[in-house]
Amino acid sequence: MRIKRHSIYTRKGNNVLCEVPITITQATLGAELEIPMVDGIKETYKIPEGTQTGTKFTLRNKGFKSVNSSSVGDFVFTVTVQTPKRLSKEQRDLLMQLAKTMNEQPPVKKRGLFG
């Protein structure tokens, strides 16, 4: 038997693995995510505030059933925090205000090739 690769899910034994992208605000403030399962349903999972890229979360017994026993694998997802590439002026200003409250140095404005 051959198992066809899936674009979202990876199988490791009876466990299902996948990556779930989240926004910077979801990672910072925490959020309830709807995780798409292999069978098409969605499970709600609450991630805590301060979640970092690469953090793994496990939904127990949501993987594949074993052929020779009654055991069921887990569904493990890894979050990836997506940093926005383009910001509006308002969004940029808000982030700069946040950086100041956190004692971060604001970013240096880019200059042209000749200054």
pTM for the complete prediction? 0.79
- Report yes or no on 110 lying in a domain: no
The residue with greater pLDDT, 15 or 106, is: 15
Residue 108 lies in a domain: no
Full domain range(s) for residue 72 = 10-101
Cα–Cα distances (Å) from 40 to 14, 53, 78, in that order, read 17, 25, 19
**Residue 51, pLDDT score:** 97
Write the CB contacts of 25 (distance below 8 Å, at least 6 apart in sequence): 31
pLDDT at residue 66, rounded to an integer: 87
Give the chain's domain count.
1
Structural domain includes residue 50: yes
In this structure, what CATH number is given to the domain that contains residue 17?
A: 2.60.260.20
Place of tokens 């569904």: 75
pLDDT tens, 39-94? Answer: 889 999 999 999 999 999 999 999 998 888 889 999 999 999 999 999 999 999 99
